[in-house]
Structure 1
Amino acid sequence: GQRPYPVSRAELQRMLMDEFGHENIHLGTKVIALEEHKNCVHFTFEDGRKDSADLLIGADGTHSITRRYVLGEQVSRRYAGYVNWNGLVKASEEIAPQHQWTTYVADGKRVSLMPVSDGRFYFFFDVPLPVGLENNKQTYRSDLEDYFEGWCPQVQRLIQNIDVEKTNRVEIHDIEPFLKFYKGHVVLIGDAAHSTTPDIGQGGCQAMEDAIYLARALQVNSLGIEDALSRYQSKRNERAKEMVLRARKRCDITHMKDSDITQAWYSELRKEKGENIMKGILSNIIGNVLD
């Protein structure tokens, strides 16, 4: 019964930093190696500095070095088959209503806008494309004009209004789900543990669920850190796997991996009033650590 409040990721990070303090946050300190000795994790930074801790939480994303340590190998990412452009643009009724989430779909492509703070839309474009094409910001606008030629006037205005220098272009990948989230005193959360496509909007959400349950498990770790990590793993790995596979399935429908299935979905959308979309969003929420 509550309305959503979309927020840009960068602003969410700033709010968290303001709430919990900046003094213990050190940017540009990439870890390049780690090892364990007698329940202590030792790690080396790219600039040669070394440090150690009783517990290392690997929230280091889809290219995670901590995942390689936990699994004993660097698993390959799987290209999902499409490229995503995203960013922020000034909200305008000429592009989309300013108080709703608006999405345009056709030909396995997608354009979406949702309101965020300060009179802006978060936007993204999805286009099924081969992996490895040139990434040149100077051609973003002309590329999008070509990919969305003939689409409605709102999409054309959006393309003209974006700031290409502040627009991101991402080749979308995920990683085959796995169930091992820790080794010794090293534990994975977020994309390091379950790298997913953004098709059901659960990447950041699952990372926050990880953080909440890991904190709870550590707060009551009367049997030690590894027992807490084991309980965290058993609570989170199956749910995270389900979300990765659910996002992959939605990705395939949205981006026309099977044209008959996608066309059937388009036909359903013509009659959709929003109830099924809300049910889908709610089904992603059910099973989280706050239930």
Structure 2
Amino acid sequence: MKIAILGGGVAGIASAIAFRQQGFDVTVHERRPADENIGAGIVVWPNAAFVLAQFGLLDEMAAVAGRPRAMRRLSRHGDDLGALDIGLIDARMGYPSLSVLRADFQRILTSRLRSLGVAVQYGRRVVDIDTSDDDAARVHFDDGSMLTADLIVGADGRMASCARRYVTGANTPIYQGFVNWIGVHEGEDIAFDVDAISDYWGTGERFGIVPVGRHTAYWAGGAAQDAVGARDPAAYHDELLRRFADWAAPVRHIIAGTPAARINKIYVHDHDPVPTWHRHNLVMIGDAAHAALPTSGQGACQALEDAWHLAHCVASHPDDLGQALQAFTALRFQKTAGIAMAGRSLASSLFDRDEAACRARDDNSRRADFTQLAMAMADGWSRHLPLRVGVPG
């Protein structure tokens, strides 16, 4: 079986690895002209660590990653709002949680794919997908070339997915009313607590710091904003300094110490969940299928799960692609839809601009049963994976 994958991000590269491990013939087509460092960092939760282990990459990823043991919630001024014990999640799921820079994450995945004999083809921008006379998807590129394959995997992201347009008839993402500035700080001017992720909550604003090492961390500063605005990279650093000027010292210091060139600004979009992920011989995965907000904490993790499950479904039904794609969608829809909706719910709370509502939210956090929360997260993320839930690994 020949498989063509549209997209060279996490979902695309991971699915190519998973298919190659099953012995399939794979090509990967990426619209960007070259491999680029996009994003800041990723928390590899245990469900994603399981997939990396199946790829033979968990030890290599752990060598460049942090190992957070807690997620602390704090007010904008640094007051304690409670903490989630990540160690409980790891023990219950049997795999570690890792914090890793996205550049390292993508580099390790891409290197593994090359070792399997597949190189990403860059500069391959899809302009249309249509259907041939024999009910097979055909992919048209901007250079005039066309691609067909036994299976086409649409891993082309949330913002302009041709695969989603082909499957559902529409691919316009939904702006969720907030912006994220993201960045990476590397330098000995700050010594981070490597055991803890820090999540600062304000009124209509949020700032998260995720250590990767003693002197390296990635971060995201979010704020409610009614409409998508202009992008001016030269202004991002000053915007952050002004907006978070009276926040706790760690927030101010990491902003001040991050070079402007390491800061990006994202107007955050997602998609409504849809129960149909395939049409003919094309299936969409990752953000194209179930884009979740960063507040879900599971975007890259669910892309890895997609890759592993899809390859296994196809390998289990080698003579009936339709049955394989139906089985894959049935397996993945409810889980990813729940994660997407949970991400929206948390975002609605974090970026609420009503001060009374935010005070009530903070009070609820102080009273929360974080042990029960950790157990619920572990159980939900373990769904449909062969993990020994409740048995430390």
Identical positions, percent: 24
SS of 1:6's equivalent in the other structure is strand
Report how far residue 97 of structure 1 moved: 1.8
User: Is the CA contact (8 Å cut-off) linking 1:91 and 1:121 kept in structure 2?
Assistant: no
Equivalent of 1:65 in 148, 154, 162: 162
Show the counterpart of 1:107.
Answer: 203
Q: 1:191 to 1:116 in 2, by over 3 A?
A: same
Question: Partner letter of residue 81 of structure 1?
Answer: G
Show the counterpart of 2:338.
Answer: 242
Show the counterpart of 1:142.
Answer: 238
Show the counterpart of 2:8.
Answer: none
User: Is the CA contact (8 Å cut-off) linking 2:295 and 2:344 kept in structure 1?
Assistant: yes
User: Is the CA contact (8 Å cut-off) linking 1:80 and 1:174 kept in structure 2?
Assistant: yes
Q: 1:23 to 1:3 in 2, by over 3 A?
A: closer
Show the counterpart of 2:39.
Answer: none
Report how far residue 237 of structure 1 moved: 1.2
User: Greater shift after overlay, 275-284 or 152-161?
Assistant: 275-284
When the two structures are superposed, what TM-score results if normalisation uses the length of structure 1? 0.91
SS of 2:137's equivalent in the other structure is strand
Q: 1:134 to 1:216 in 2, by over 3 A?
A: same
Residues 184-241 of structure 1 deviation map (CA, whole Å, 9 limit, x = unaligned): 1000100100111110211111111111111110011144111100111111112111
Q: 1:119 to 1:269 in 2, by over 3 A?
A: same
Does residue 15 of structure 1 match 2:112?
Answer: no
Show the counterpart of 2:226.
Answer: 130
Alignment RMSD, CA only? Answer: 2.3
Equivalences for residues 60-209 of structure 1 within 5 A: 60-62=156-158, 63-71=160-168, 73-90=169-186, 94=190, 96-116=192-212, 119-209=215-305
SS of 1:151's equivalent in the other structure is coil
SS of 1:7's equivalent in the other structure is strand
User: Is the CA contact (8 Å cut-off) linking 2:286 and 2:302 kept in structure 1?
Assistant: yes
Quick one: distance in 1 between partners of 2:214 and 2:125?
33
SS of 2:121's equivalent in the other structure is coil
Residues 95-132 of structure 1 deviation map (CA, whole Å, 9 limit, x = unaligned): 74233111221113111111225841011101111222
Question: Partner letter of residue 109 of structure 2?
Answer: L
Quick one: distance in 1 between partners of 2:369 and 2:257?
29
Show the counterpart of 2:125.
Answer: 30
Quick one: distance in 2 between partners of 1:175 and 1:115?
29
SS of 2:108's equivalent in the other structure is helix
Quick one: distance in 2 between partners of 1:158 and 1:253?
24
Q: 1:201 to 1:182 in 2, by over 3 A?
A: same
Quick one: distance in 1 between partners of 2:208 and 2:270?
21
Q: 1:94 to 1:9 in 2, by over 3 A?
A: closer
Quick one: distance in 2 between partners of 1:175 and 1:136?
25
Stretches of 4+ aligned residues off by more than 6 angstroms = none
User: Is the CA contact (8 Å cut-off) linking 1:41 and 1:54 kept in structure 2?
Assistant: no
User: Is the CA contact (8 Å cut-off) linking 2:185 and 2:218 kept in structure 1?
Assistant: yes
Q: Would you say how many aligned residue pairs link Structure 1 and Structure 2?
A: 290
Question: Partner letter of residue 163 of structure 2?
Answer: T
Quick one: distance in 1 between partners of 2:378 and 2:356?
27
Quick one: distance in 1 between partners of 2:370 and 2:306?
29
Report how far residue 26 of structure 1 moved: 0.7
Does residue 212 of structure 1 match 2:308?
Answer: yes
Q: 1:186 to 1:99 in 2, by over 3 A?
A: same
Report how far residue 81 of structure 1 moved: 1.3
Question: Partner letter of residue 230 of structure 2?
Answer: E
Quick one: distance in 1 between partners of 2:111 and 2:265?
28
Query: Is there any run of 5+ residues in structure 2 with no aligned partner, and where?
Result: 1-90, 388-393
Question: Partner letter of residue 269 of structure 2?
Answer: H
When the two structures are superposed, what TM-score results if normalisation uses the length of structure 2? 0.68
